[in-house]
Copies of this chain bind each other. A is one copy, B any other.
Amino acid sequence: MGVRARLIEVGVDMVTREGMQSLTLREIARRAGVSHGAPRHYFPTHVALLSAIARQGFADLTARVTETAGESQADPRARLLALGGVYLDFARANPGMFELMFRHDLLESDHLGLREVSLPLFDILTDLVTRARTRPDPAPPVVAGALWANLHGIAQLWGWGSLRLATGADDAGPLLRAALDAHLGPENR
């Protein structure tokens, strides 16, 4: 395996195991078995390396989401519930990576390809939303955007205890269901 791939792999491993603050350029190089100047041959700057690591995280999340969203022909509401669950599970099981992925100050937003990686996800969401909700009040992209923000907010706030503290719940499930019910309108059965 080439040095470049090893750097990324070591970084992914470090961020999942020890959190974001362990991702110094020199320590990554150290654990990859190269000198502290070597990464510069593949990544012009520290931010570029972090971006590559974060992109791996995005790829992982995207894979899980698309896999879950396309799963069987269950009704869109159930798929959305699964999708939200995947999102929240990812954030809970992998807080370091989740944090890195949304630290836009540490990521080169252009080269990361945010458009390439987040728009497909958003399209899936929009599609499911259009087919799942029962009332047509706001335009689909707005609903999808609001729902995405809700998902992300739950993941973020839950991640550092605020919601657990405020709502008294010990699981993010009720919040997810509440968000879905809210944005999709009342159940129709």
A residues with a Cβ closer than 8 A to B are 20-21, 99, 102, 104-105, 109, 114-115, 118-119, 122, 135, 137-138, 141-146, 148-154, 156-158, 160, 162-163, 165-169, 174-175, 177-179, 181-183, 186
Contact = CB atoms under 8 A, between A and B. Distances in A.
Contact of A181 (B137, B158, B160, B166): B137
A26 to B, nearest CB: 19
A149 B153 contact: yes
A75 to B, nearest CB: 19
A182 B146 contact: yes
A142 B144 CA distance: 21
Interface of A is mostly: helix
B20 A179 contact: no
Contacts of A115: 165
Nearest to A184: B182
A66 to B, nearest CB: 17
A136 to B, nearest CB: 12
A110 to B, nearest CB: 12
Given A153-B152, A166-B141, A146 B179 contact: yes
A155 B141 CA distance: 17
Given A137-B181, A150-B150, A160-B109, A175 B142 contact: yes
A175 B175 CA distance: 19
A21 B46 CA distance: 15
A58 B143 CA distance: 29
